[in-house]
Structure 1
Amino acid sequence: MNNIDKVYELLRQNGPMLPVEVASKLGVDSFLASAYLSQLTDMGKIKPTKERVGSTFVYFIQGQDIAASNKVSILLRPTQKTARMFASSVPAGAEVEQKRQAFAERLQEIEKKETEQKAIKQEQARVEAPKPQRSISEQIKQDFLDRFRPAIMETLQKREAPKVPVLPAKTEPAPAVDDKKLAQQMMAEIQQRTAPKKILPEGKLVEKAVAFLAESKGDIISKDLKKKGKEADIVALIPSQIGNLKYLILVRDKKTITDADLSMAYAEAANKKLPALFMTHGKLTKGAEAYLQTISGLVKVKNLN
């Protein structure tokens, strides 16, 4: 029985579970447990709950919906969380009690960080909300009307004004409008406005990341270039012992990587329900190294130097 089947069997026997509980049962880290659960979710064998517990979901199989909902409700009650999560018929020794307390504190810390990150994202979305823009065709129509509006208004005024005899003025005749030249000018403007944007070239760091994925026999699903091609967000399938696993790969061109950079990477990956692989040529600060230990493998870092 492979690990994927073992995870499914754990859920069938024990009911809804958190990734950390699956990791404890299998004897692996939380990163691999989350990857197994993500793979089973993509296969349609299990489902995640709608609500998060801290920074993750509770996973369950078909028919365990009510049990999953009840477990989430219990875990989200601060006054009852620790007691109900670790209820056991076996008397707890000092070492077991210490592990329980450490797990509860870690869960609360992750939940707090997730709440803070969510508040920061909501504030950024509010401040950076894009203003509605006109489509290219609407803008071209508006520019055309703005250019010829004076001539149109003048023509309408002439039609509405009463005919009054006017002595001929000694002025030079207005130059004739070259319709062909005007049409060519308008077509040139339209082509210039509707021309496709230039494709950004990939920076050296992004090229290294793509080369690394090719050497690892990874299959790139999507690639979103950022900062003029120097950085990118890539979704790719990477081979593993249990088959191809889908990752969110964040390529960041920074000399120094802080815990805030890794925290943001973790939040983006969690929103996509994918494990994160952070690629860079920068150096981790002590705070970043401590953060990696705190989240226990939920974000992997690959230095491309």
Structure 2
Amino acid sequence: MQNIPKEKVLEVVRQGPTIPQKIVKIVGGDTMLIGAILSTMISIGEVNYSSLKIGGSPLYYIPEHEEKLEEFMNYLNEKDQKTAKLLKEKNVLKDSDQDPLIRFSLKTIRDFAKPFEIEKQLFYRYFLFPKEDAESIAAGMLTKATPKVEVKVEEKPIEKIMERHTEKTVEQPKAEVEKPKIEKPKAVKHEKKSDFLEAIKDHIHKLNLDIISKEKIKKSEFTLILKNHDSNEYIYCVAKDKKTIDEGDLSTAFVFSHQKKMPCLFLITGKLTKKAEAMSQKEFKEMKIEKMD
């Protein structure tokens, strides 16, 4: 295998956020070798990697270039782009004030939305907005909300005088309890979304492995930590519901498993591209790739 100095790879990364495939084109080698070098640099803090992915691979960048991630915001899906732009405009968002879709999106765009707590309330700040300023704004939000609660408490004794005369009419609004009917379609959606996860669980069960933790990257992709109790070994697992798996998918899985110092299991529903198939026999021969039923 070609020997490429770490300094050459770092020199490319210093030019701006990039992906392994582009580094290979400049310094040579292959994605497995470059991935291993990047993993080493990550472990000593010379390089960071993004949550955002381009072609299945995260961006690698030096800590001083974190602000340049903003240039890649257009690679987010449309919903997450809107959330990121809203946060950039407002600087700070209170989690409980947002609708469910935005709250979920804020948890997803980890590169751009930085969570923090004030008085046990969850807030998010735009990643380029100073933390101290964000905390000051969040504290101000909580202060403004407090007097409103006190005013409502003062009005309640007056309403009690009318309660005896309106007991019968008060019973009518209780019919609004029928609102939980809205939850029915939600339950159906969850079932659909869990189909792939259930298939993953079934396959892992057949391998006599235990799921220690799991993370949903998107509807068709999960990462898991598994344990083989016979060998007491932990395994990094990637599962993708995708028609074709390319070398970029394999490279990304290899980099993260290498970083975690775990063997890698890749579960797929589709087929490997010819190049990915060839690399699975050479560069990624230590990675176990299995097709799910």
Instruction: Please tell me the TM-score bracket, short chain as reference.
Output: 0.3 to 0.5
Q: If the length of structure 1 is used for normalisation, what is the TM-score?
A: 0.42
